[in-house]
């Protein structure tokens, strides 16, 4: 493999894996925040206890996933400088701003507040504690916004002018309202909610299939998850279709490949426009990915639509094949969304900044040997982390609410599940204010 | 004051903040096998599975500390994009090592308690130490390289290899930093834990500081004899280096005298000062090949229009960040103990 190919592999693999964590984080955090709010403001002590345990159970799965999401993000932040210094030379004036603002506005708040939320059980006042998780949710979405502003600029540059081979920012407003970014954001938010909803619904179904005692907790979770997944997966399809006309206007080649017609014609036009070169991205990948995404999208929509009706009188969990199906669809959303990114990112090849800078020209002067080492190191670590993450999530999801460690003041005795008390946090209310 | 200098100051603040806050995290990570409780009866009764004073001490702040590094990279990309591209790709092997260490260490700290048996936990425990030691050492090497100067080519790019890293000066900087971070971590554990643990941490801290001081002295001597740092602003550099020596001395003296808060304040200064040394010692250069040559602030900074926009946000956001970070320190102040949820 050439240096460029190695750098692309490294970038694609690390972002792709980062994305697999991020999408679940973004999907779960609003649900956890909602559960926490409901628990905090319930009067009836029995119900409150159940809802609190529900929050801690899903909260813990979210926090496990978040841990790995952050560490992969750390690597992402350095990738542009490491492998694509041509990108910062050409577009640094424009492209750097959203990334800087992302770290200052979103990540700082997200990490600080999440740390406080994790360790705030029984230490912070109820209102403050609930506000923290909402702030975490808000900042997670803010970070998605800023990263998509950066990504949207690469897909469809706006608000800049080129002087002497370098891009300068001329219209910040245009950059922030790039339609290529905003529709993608809409699609991504809905994709994340679909993922979160399916995850909650599927895990709940699994506990019913195993005959859980926690029926109230999981019934309530199942309802929430199914409704969220149904609504979000309906609209993810709608917004997905809305992206097509934008692609048609801004990226004729991607459009031709997706339509599977006129590729040769567009190639000829692009040669006229940008000089000789091969402007056709790998078509097979794009077709495959687009088909996977739409097929899975429609499948998820249909299944969750039916599932919502079956919620009535618990038919969904009493009819075992359907319950197993809900467990089986959990991975679908992850697959669909990775496929979606392949369409978006591979489809814009050979450009790194559409129409201005090709991937080859953006590569840093890094030796092949270094790239082979770093590629191997990162991919090994990331795959290892992904496997660890999903093993842990599965383990804690399967063990159920009794094994939750989040929010308990004393560590659970090794191997023994905690006594089903009403949540550790109402025992010692010592607010720090 | 021009906007450029303000943003350089902010970049320095982020890196210094990271050295101070991440520094004690790495220190505590490296020392955690030596600072377990279990010594005294009470601790064992409270935490049947053997609590871990060092990890409990850093836990509530851990996520908020690591993000200073992310912000440093973000600010560098936003305000000094031409520095980012050159610096990170030039230091490629070191940055990759730092990242690998960070990723494994961060994940290990957060997931350690999720491990099932003792064996799983031992693996995570080892990774926690690795993830503290590797970034600490490599940041020290980076500081050493930046002080000494890097081999810049005609087009401004550079590359480091074994030849650049394995010089006495750079290695000594690495050793001084790893020892200093460890001592700094010991100081933090001391102020956060019960008296028995605190005195153990203080003892450890004093010993580590002696080592750090000795390594720093060697670096200084190498510089005096011409094979160390080549500073653009000699006067300022001497003042800062002097302050560093004083900070190390005060820290050692406070550790041995049992003044742990003072000791921690001193190690905070000692971890932040190297950043100031790189920044002020070379100004207006951000990256030098030898004293008075290199990439200066005007080459590195982003376009004026972008900087103005960033500044509008910066004025609002930076005080807010400092405020809520301070709030989180306040909310989790005090010593660790039974009342603290120990999730990590
Ligand atoms: C749960 C995940 C999921 C599901 C079910 C779908 N998508 Fe999607 N899709 C994504 C998750 C996703 C994504 C990962 O979020 C992408 C990548 C970039 C983006 O903006 O969203 C994406 C990208 C993406 C793109 C490329 C945008 C570009 O190149 O700029 C198109 C055209 C569609 N989607 C269209 C659809 C259609 C027509 C779907 C329904 C049948 C659909 N998606 C279902
Ligand atoms: C998180 C979801 C993402 C995934 C799965 C993803 C996937 C990919 C893939 C598959 C490639 C390789 C394309 C090829 O070489 O054929 C790539 C390249 C790249 N992507 Fe993404 N991407 C994601 C998000 C982003 C974002 C948000 C940005 C920018 C802010 C970005 C910037 C880049 C860059 C700079 C490259 C390297 C140059 C190139 O090959 O075009 N990516 N990505
Ligand atoms: C579609 C693409 C992306 C989205 C929606 C996204 C969103 C997020 C979110 C929500 C988090 C919080 C951690 C988690 O959820 O697990 C996160 C972490 C992070 N992401 Fe991404 N990200 C994307 C791609 C990227 C890229 C391309 C970069 C590189 C600049 C990046 C840099 C980071 C960093 C540095 C963190 C860690 C932040 C911290 O320390 O708190 N992300 N990302």
**Average pLDDT score, chain B:** 84
Which ligand lies nearest the alpha carbon of A291? Answer: 1
Instruction: Measure CB to CB from residue B85 to each of A88, A385, A414 and give the nearest one.
Output: A88
Tell me B274's DSSP state. H
Residue of chain A whose alpha carbon sits nearest to that of B7? A100
* Disruptive mutation site among A60, A115, A380 for chain B (greatest number of B CBs within 10 Å): A115
Residues of A in contact with B328 (CB under 8 A): 112, 115-116
Phi, psi of A427 (to 5 degrees): -80, -40
SS3 A213: coil
Specify the pLDDT at position A21: 93
How high is the ipTM of this complex? 0.84
SS3 A169: strand
* d(C-alpha B313, C-alpha B6), whole Å: 13
- Each as own residue / partner, the long-range contacts of residues A235-242 (CB below 8 Å, 24 or more positions apart, any chain) are A235/A190, A236/A187, A236/A190, A236/A191, A236/A194, A236/A297, A237/A297, A237/A298, A237/A301, A239/A183, A239/A186, A239/A187, A239/A190, A240/A187, A240/A293, A240/A294, A240/A297, A240/A340, A242/A183, A242/A186
- Using the mean position of ligand 1's atoms as its centre, give its distance from the Cα of residue B33 in Å: 47
Of A145, A191, A294, the one to substitute when testing ligand 1's pocket (max ligand atoms within 8 A of C-beta) is A191
Q: Which residues, in sequence order, are CB contacts of A204 under 8 Å at separation 6+?
A: A218, A219, A221, A222, A225
**Contact status, residue B55 vs residue B37, Cβ threshold 8 Å:** no
Instruction: Measure CB to CB from residue A366 to each of B89, B332, B338 and give the nearest one.
Output: B89
Residue the block writes with tokens 């440093």: B72
Are A82 and B306 within 8 A, CB to CB? Answer: no
Structure tokens at A355: 């129409």
* Disruptive mutation site among A92, A166, A410 for chain B (greatest number of B CBs within 10 Å): A92
Q: How many whole angstroms from its chain centre is CA B212?
A: 14
* d(C-alpha B237, C-alpha B220), whole Å: 11
Q: Which atom of ligand 2 is nearest to the CA of A7?
A: 37
- From residue A46, alpha-carbon distances to A52, A211, A402, A423, B99 in Å are 10, 21, 16, 11, 47
Are B59 and A119 within 8 A, CB to CB? Answer: yes
Specify the pLDDT at position B37: 64
Instruction: Report the half-sphere exposure of A212 (CA within 13 A, side-chain side).
Output: 20
**Contact status, residue A403 vs residue A418, Cβ threshold 8 Å:** yes
Residues of A in contact with B46 (CB under 8 A): 410
Of A181, A345, A351, A354, the one to substitute when testing ligand 2's pocket (max ligand atoms within 8 A of C-beta) is A345
| Number of Cβ within a 10 Å radius of residue A291 | 12
Nearest Cα to Cα of residue A330 among A424, A200, A427:
A200
DSSP string, A70-97: HHHHHHHHHHHHHH-HHHHHHHHHHHHH
> Residues B316-334: pLDDT tens digits?
888 888 888 888 888 777 7
> Residues B71-118: pLDDT tens digits?
898 888 888 888 887 888 888 889 989 999 999 999 888 888 787 777
- From residue A162, alpha-carbon distances to A89, A166, A168, A271 in Å are 12, 5, 6, 21
Rounded to the nearest 5 percent, the helix, strand and coil shares of chain A are: 80, 5, 20
Asked, as a colleague might, if the bond just before A373 is cis with ω within 30 of 0, I would say: no
**Contact status, residue B314 vs residue A104, Cβ threshold 8 Å:** yes
Minimum mean pLDDT range among B13-22, B225-234, B312-321: B225-234
* d(C-alpha A207, C-alpha A327), whole Å: 10
Q: Which atom of ligand 3 is nearest to the CA of B70?
A: 35
Give the confidence band of B341 by pLDDT, cuts at 50, 70, 90. Answer: low
Structure tokens at B20: 């101070």
Residue of chain B whose alpha carbon sits nearest to that of A71? B103
Instruction: Report the half-sphere exposure of A263 (CA within 13 A, side-chain side).
Output: 13
On the question of pLDDT at B47 being above 60, the answer is no
Q: Of B34-43, B76-85, B170-179, B232-241, which one has max mean pLDDT?
A: B170-179
Are A100 and B79 within 8 A, CB to CB? Answer: yes
Instruction: Measure CB to CB from residue B102 to each of A74, A367, A413 and give the nearest one.
Output: A74
Nearest Cα to Cα of residue A166 among A95, A65, A62:
A95
* Beta-bridge partners for B288: B294
Are A81 and B70 within 8 A, CB to CB? Answer: no
What is the sign of the dihedral through the CA atoms of A116, A121, A127 and A131? positive
Min Cα separation A13/chain B (Å): 15
Residue of chain B whose alpha carbon sits nearest to that of A81? B85
* d(C-alpha B275, C-alpha B11), whole Å: 10
- List, in sequence order, every beta strand (DSSP E) within A337-390: 351-353, 357-358
Q: Which residues, in sequence order, are CB contacts of B2 under 8 Å at separation 6+?
A: none
Min Cα separation A91/chain B (Å): 9
Does the beta carbon of A62 lie inside 6 Å of ligand 3?
A: no
| Number of Cβ within a 10 Å radius of residue A263 | 18
Specify the pLDDT at position A188: 95
**Contact status, residue B150 vs residue B287, Cβ threshold 8 Å:** yes
Does the beta carbon of A181 lie inside 6 Å of ligand 1?
A: no
Min Cα separation A388/chain B (Å): 9
**Contact status, residue B331 vs residue A124, Cβ threshold 8 Å:** yes
B49 touches chain A (CB under 8 A): yes
B41 touches chain A (CB under 8 A): no
* d(C-alpha A261, C-alpha B207), whole Å: 73
- Using the mean position of ligand 3's atoms as its centre, give its distance from the Cα of residue A30 in Å: 17
* d(C-alpha A376, C-alpha A382), whole Å: 10
Residues of B in contact with A109 (CB under 8 A): 321, 324
Tell me the percentage of chain B whose pLDDT exceeds 70: 92
Residue of chain A whose alpha carbon sits nearest to that of B156? A365
Phi, psi of B332 (to 5 degrees): -115, 30
Specify the pLDDT at position A415: 37
* d(C-alpha A115, C-alpha A109), whole Å: 10
Tell me B286's DSSP state. E
- List, in sequence order, every beta strand (DSSP E) within chain B: 285-290, 293-296
Instruction: Find the farthest-apart pair of alpha carbons in chain A and give their distance in angstroms, rounded.
Output: 74
On the question of pLDDT at B121 being above 90, the answer is no
Of A26, A293, A300, the one to substitute when testing ligand 1's pocket (max ligand atoms within 8 A of C-beta) is A293
Instruction: Measure CB to CB from residue B74 to each of A63, A94, A100 and give the nearest one.
Output: A100
Residues of B in contact with A357 (CB under 8 A): none
Residues of B in contact with A424 (CB under 8 A): 341
* d(C-alpha B65, C-alpha A112), whole Å: 8
Tell me A282's DSSP state. -
Residue the block writes with tokens 């102040």: B333
- pTM of the predicted structure, to 2 decimals: 0.87
DSSP string, B5-38: HHHHHHHHHHHHHHHHHHHHHHHHHHHTTTSBS-
Residue of chain A whose alpha carbon sits nearest to that of B74? A100
> Residues B239-282: pLDDT tens digits?
999 999 999 999 999 988 888 888 899 999 999 999 999 988 88
> Rg of chain A's alpha carbons, rounded to an integer?
23
Q: How many whole angstroms from its chain centre is CA A67?
A: 14
On the question of pLDDT at B120 being above 50, the answer is yes
- From residue B84, alpha-carbon distances to A77, A92, A109, B6, B74 in Å are 11, 9, 24, 18, 9
Which ligand lies nearest the alpha carbon of A339? Answer: 1
Residues with CB under 6 A from ligand 2: A 8, 11-12, 15-16, 18-19, 84, 147, 150-151, 154, 338, 341-342, 345-346, 349, 352, 359
Does the beta carbon of B67 lie inside 6 Å of ligand 3?
A: yes
> Rg of chain B's alpha carbons, rounded to an integer?
20
* d(C-alpha B234, C-alpha B228), whole Å: 13
Q: What is the pLDDT along chain A (433 residues), one digit of tens a residue?
A: 788 888 888 899 999 999 999 999 999 999 999 999 998 888 888 888 888 889 989 998 999 999 888 889 888 888 887 888 788 888 888 888 888 888 888 888 898 899 889 888 877 888 889 999 999 999 999 999 999 999 999 899 888 888 887 888 888 888 889 888 999 999 999 999 999 999 999 999 998 888 878 888 888 899 999 999 999 999 999 998 888 888 888 888 888 888 888 777 888 888 887 877 778 788 888 989 999 999 999 999 999 998 888 888 777 778 888 889 889 999 999 999 999 999 999 888 888 888 888 887 788 777 788 888 888 888 999 999 899 889 888 888 888 787 777 776 554 444 333 333 333 333 333 333 3
On the question of pLDDT at B164 being above 90, the answer is no
């Amino acid at each position: 493999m050439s240096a460029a190919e190695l750098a692309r592999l490294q970038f694609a693999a690390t972002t792709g894996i980062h994305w697999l964590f991020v999408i679940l984080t973004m999907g779960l955090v609003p649900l956890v925040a909602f559960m926490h709010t409901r628990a905090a403001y319930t009067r009836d002590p029995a119900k409150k206890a159940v809802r609190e345990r529900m929050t801690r159970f899903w909260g813990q799965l979210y926090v496990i996933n978040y841990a790995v999401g952050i560490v992969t993000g750390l690597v992402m932040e350095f990738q542009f400088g490491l492998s694509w210094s041509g990108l910062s030379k050409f577009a640094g004036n424009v492209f750097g701003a959203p990334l800087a603002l992302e770290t200052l506005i979103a990540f700082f708040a997200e990490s600080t507040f999440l740390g406080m939320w994790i360790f705030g059980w029984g230490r912070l006042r109820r209102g403050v504690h609930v506000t923290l998780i909402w702030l975490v949710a808000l900042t997670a979405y803010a970070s998605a916004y800023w990263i998509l502003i950066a990504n949207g600029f690469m897909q469809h540059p706006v608000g800049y002018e080129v002087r002497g081979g370098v891009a300068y920012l001329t219209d910040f407003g245009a950059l922030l309202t790039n339609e290529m970014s905003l529709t993608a954001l809409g699609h991504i938010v809905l994709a994340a909610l679909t993922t979160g909803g399916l995850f909650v619904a599927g895990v709940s179904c699994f506990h019913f299939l195993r005959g859980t005692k926690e029926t109230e907790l999981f019934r309530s979770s199942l309802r929430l998850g199914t409704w969220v997944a149904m609504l979000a997966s309906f609209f993810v399809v709608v917004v997905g279709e809305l992206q097509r006309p934008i692609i048609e206007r801004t990226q004729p080649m991607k459009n031709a490949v997706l339509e599977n017609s006129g590729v040769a014609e567009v190639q000829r036009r692009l040669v006229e426009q940008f000089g000789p070169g091969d402007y056709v991205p790998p078509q097979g990948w794009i077709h495959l990915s687009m088909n996977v995404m739409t097929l899975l999208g429609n499948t998820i929509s249909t299944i969750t639509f039916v599932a919502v009706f079956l919620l009535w009188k618990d038919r969904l969990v009493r009819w075992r094949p359907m319950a197993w199906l809900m467990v089986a669809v959990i991975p679908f959303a992850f697959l669909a969304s990775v496929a979606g990114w392949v369409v978006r990112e591979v489809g814009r090849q050979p450009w790194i900044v559409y129409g201005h800078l090709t991937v080859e020209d953006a590569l840093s002067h890094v030796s092949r040997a270094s790239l082979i080492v770093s590629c191997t190191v990162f991919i090994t670590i990331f795959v290892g982390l992904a496997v660890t993450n999903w093993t842990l999530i599965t383990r804690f999801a399967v063990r159920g609410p009794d094994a939750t460690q989040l929010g308990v003041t004393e560590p659970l005795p090794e191997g023994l599940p905690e006594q089903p008390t009403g949540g550790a946090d109402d025992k010692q209310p010592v607010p720090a204010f | 004051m021009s906007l450029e200098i303000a943003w350089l100051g902010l970049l320095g603040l982020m890196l210094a903040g990271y050295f101070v806050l991440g520094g004690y995290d790495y220190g505590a990570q490296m020392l955690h096998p030596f600072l377990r409780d279990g010594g005294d009866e009470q601790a064992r009764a409270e935490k049947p599975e053997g609590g871990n004073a060092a990890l409990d001490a850093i836990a509530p702040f851990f996520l908020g500390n690591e993000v200073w590094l992310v912000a440093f990279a973000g600010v560098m990309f936003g305000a000094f994009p031409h520095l980012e591209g050159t610096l990170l790709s030039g230091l490629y092997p070191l940055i990759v090592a730092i990242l690998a260490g960070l990723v494994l260490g961060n994940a290990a700290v957060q997931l350690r308690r999720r491990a099932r048996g003792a064996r799983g936990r031992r693996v995570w425990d080892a990774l926690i130490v690795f993830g503290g030691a590797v970034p600490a050492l490599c940041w020290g090497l980076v500081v050493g390289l930046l002080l000494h100067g890097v081999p810049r080519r005609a087009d401004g790019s550079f590359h480091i290899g074994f030849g650049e890293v394995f010089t006495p000066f750079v290695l000594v900087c690495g050793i001084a930093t790893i020892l200093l971070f460890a001592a700094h971590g010991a100081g933090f554990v001391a102020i956060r834990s019960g008296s028995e643990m605190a005195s153990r941490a203080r003892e450890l801290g004093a010993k580590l500081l002696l080592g750090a001081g000795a390594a720093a002295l060697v670096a200084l001597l190498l510089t005096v004899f011409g094979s160390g740092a080549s500073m653009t602003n000699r006067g300022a550099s001497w003042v800062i280096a002097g302050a560093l020596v004083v900070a190390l001395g005060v820290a050692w003296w406070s550790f041995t005298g049992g003044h742990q808060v003072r000791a921690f304040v001193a190690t905070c200064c000692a971890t932040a000062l190297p950043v100031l040394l790189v920044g002020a010692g070379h100004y207006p250069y951000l990256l030098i090949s030898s004293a008075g040559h290199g990439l200066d602030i005007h080459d590195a900074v982003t376009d004026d229009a972008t900087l103005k926009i960033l500044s509008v946000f910066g004025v609002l956001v930076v005080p807010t960040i400092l405020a809520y970070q301070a709030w989180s320190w306040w909310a989790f102040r005090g010593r660790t103990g039974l009342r603290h949820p120990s999730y990590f």
